[in-house]
Amino acid sequence: MTAPLVAFEDAAVTFGKLRALDDVTLHLPRGAITGLVGESGSGKTTLCRTLLGLTPLSSGEVLFDGMPVRTHLARGARAFRRRVQMLLQDAVASLSPRMRIGSALEEPLRIHRLPLEEGRERLIGILRRLGLPEDIRGKYPHQISGGQARRVGVARALLMRPEMIVADEPTAGLDVSVQGELLNLLLDLQRELGLTYLLVSHNLNVVRRITDRTAVMYLGQVVEDAPTRELFHRPAHPYTAALLSTNPAVQAARRRARIVLQGEIPSMLAPPSGCRFHPRCPVAQPNCAIDPPALAEVEPGRSVRCHYPFSLPLPA
């Protein structure tokens, strides 16, 4: 088996009494697109920040290319930052309103002390590849569209020739047609450059369309990790089934009857005992409130954090 590019091994992050990540084990295959889904506050952003080395771990480890991220940062933070780039959710807000697009794009070259002339030539090629006019470099962020701002973010990331891109809601706020163009572009770049993506999204149709694997988070834990096609076709965890049932589908064959969960999402400051999902789980048993389930492989390539995986009958 090929070693993953990124491996979370029992990773945990604690802020005072808040345990934002708890016992997270997740492998991101090299050259693949992994989707990360879950309700707001489930820990997706914290997971991304630990991968980038922006949030320190309380315990466990995050490995990048077989080496702990903290070791990469200690040996050379700039070198590691060039290998892993991020596309921020609010593309316009990520650009300084006082800085022209050209200056914003060249800023990484200055930060990483790379030759400006060589970088500018590469940048022109990237802009052409992304369908952006060269004169966009003279404009300010308020003078370009949301779709162009997303492409500017992609150009700035590609300029560093990364191995991996962490994309946080890359299609949020875009028209459907623009979403499609951006997704096709990301797919083309992934195939051409062999990039590895971690795609964070609330849009389950986007995740279903372009990802190879999908990880589902609930209250700071990964509750299911599986090939995307298998996960959408036959979810193993009750929370995954409930989450997928909320996804609107145009094709009648893909529509699911809504699974309505009872109660509210528990507080991360006082998570339930045993399985964190048990107060809302439609198939919970008495031991679920006592024994916390471990993330265990239930099929080749599929792991689930549940005492009774596949126990929820899927409505027709």
CA distance 269 to 264: 14
Query: Which of 81, 45, 60, 64 has the alpha carbon at shortest distance from 4?
Result: 64
Tokens of 166: 């962490």
pTM above 0.95, yes or no: no
| β partners of residue 35 | 199, 214
What is the reported pLDDT for 264?
Answer: 83
Q: What is the mean pLDDT of each run of 10 residues along the chain (316 residues)?
A: 88 93 96 94 93 95 96 94 90 90 91 86 89 92 91 90 92 82 88 94 92 97 97 95 79 64 86 94 94 95 95 63
Indicate the domain borders of the chain.
236-316
What is the reported pLDDT for 249?
Answer: 61
What is the reported pLDDT for 79?
Answer: 92
Tokens of 78: 């700039």
**Quick check: 168 and 200 in contact, CB under 8 A?**
yes
Tokens of 185: 């572009």
Task: Burial-class residue 99 by CB neighbours within 10 Å (0-12, 13-18, 19+).
Answer: middle
Q: Count the Cβ atoms, other than its own, within 10 Å of residue 139.
A: 15
Question: How distant is the alpha carbon of residue 245 from its chain centre?
Answer: 21
**Quick check: 264 and 225 in contact, CB under 8 A?**
no
What is the reported pLDDT for 316?
Answer: 47
Q: Count the Cβ atoms, other than its own, within 10 Å of residue 305.
A: 25
Tokens of 169: 């809601």
